[in-house]
Amino acid sequence: MPRIGAAKPTQPGDVIDAHVHLFTVGLLEEFVSKMPEGSERFREALKQRRWGKRNNVLPSKTPEQTARWYVDRMKQADVKKALFVSVMPDNQWTRDFLVAANGHVHGLCNVDPRDPGAPALLEREMAAGFRGVKLYPVNRAYRLSDPACRPFFEKADELGANITVHYGVTVDPTGDLNYADPLDLSPVARDFPNLQFVIAHFGAGWLDSVLRVAYQCKNICVDTSGTNNWMDYYVPKMTLAEVFERTIMALGPERILFGTDSGTTAPYRTWIRYMQQRTLEEMGLSDGDRDLILRGNASRIFRLDEPLLPTPSAE
């Protein structure tokens, strides 16, 4: 498998995007062929070769071409490394992309933690180079506190596989907001104090729960990714600076990870990077604290500056 030259460790002042996405024709083809039923949205996307709200063109490239293209876009956005969150479980195309991207783009694997096979799958994915897990309780309608998830968390704890969780509103029309409240994370974070949990998009409309649960559990963090358009209907009305201010107050700057939620079918969300960086500057945050949010925390929590393992034997 051809790959890009290995990424060097980031430096203070660099930016790591801790929440991006990966959608391509090859990745979806593999997913649909494995799960022919229950994936109408994806089959339709493949037929049209288009994806997302704006019906953008789905890229059709090899994993290696995609890796080069992804890193090029990051360069233009002045982003040194990125962490993609998998939406498809157990996907060889995605594993190939990860190897090709060689530490410039890291990944979180997709696992259903209730599945009795989840601990074994997690072990395989971490050995393939993934740096942790992305969980989707709202989209898949489950609770992390469900005892069925317990063996999965025990394995994650053993492997040091930290976890990003999507709570709150979702663009997925099948999502169930009965599972949206991050308070459900409380007993899990309590019982696994060595695991780090990152709640995406400031909780996507559940900021009050995020602040409470993260104040209580010191191993809960947030990512800032996306347009954060949940602020449009949040009560009380808040600016992005106020959202950052409350979050820094409750969690501290060492538990906030910057992200854009960029995908592969629309241009890289450079404007989100500038908007958030500018907001932090205007708030008068010290260089050190800004560096934690924009780079250091993601690097530490997901080990993004360690070489991608294992080194493939045949290149």
Which among 36-44, 88-96, 155-163, 258-266 is the span making contact with Zn ion, rule CB under 5 A? 258-266
- 257 vs 285, which CB is nearer to Zn ion? 257
Which among 34-42, 73-81, 124-132, 260-268 is the span making contact with Zn ion, rule CB under 5 A? 260-268
- 159 vs 200, which CB is nearer to Zn ion? 200
Cβ 45 to Zn ion shortest distance, Å: 16
3-class DSSP assignment, residue 38: coil
- Verify binding: residue 261, Zn ion, rule CB under 5 A: yes
Cβ 19 to Zn ion shortest distance, Å: 6
- Verify binding: residue 184, Zn ion, rule CB under 5 A: no
- 14 vs 261, which CB is nearer to Zn ion? 261
- Buried (b) or exposed (e) across 288-302, using 16+ Cβ within 10 A? ebbbbbbbbbbbebb
Which among 94-102, 174-182, 256-264, 270-278 is the span making contact with Zn ion, rule CB under 5 A? 256-264
For the chain, the first-to-last Cα distance in angstroms comes to 5
Close Cβ partners of 53 (under 8 Å, ≥ 6 residues apart): 171
Cβ 68 to Zn ion shortest distance, Å: 23
- Verify binding: residue 223, Zn ion, rule CB under 5 A: no
d(CA 54, CA 61) in angstroms, rounded, equals 21
- 3 vs 201, which CB is nearer to Zn ion? 201
Cβ 260 to Zn ion shortest distance, Å: 9
122-127-129-135 Cα dihedral, nearest 10 degrees: 10
Q: By beta-carbon distance, which residue lies closest to Zn ion?
A: 261
Cβ 6 to Zn ion shortest distance, Å: 26
d(CA 118, CA 2) in angstroms, rounded, equals 30
With CB under 5 A, what is the number of residues at the site for Zn ion?
1
- 181 vs 261, which CB is nearer to Zn ion? 261
85 CB-contact burial (10 Å; exposed 0-12 / middle 13-18 / buried 19+): buried
Cβ 306 to Zn ion shortest distance, Å: 24
- 206 is written with which tokens? 């559940």
Please give the C-alpha separations between residue 78 and each of 73, 108, 257, 269, 283, in angstroms, as whole numbers: 9, 22, 17, 11, 22
Interacting residue ranges for Zn ion, rule: CB under 5 A: 261
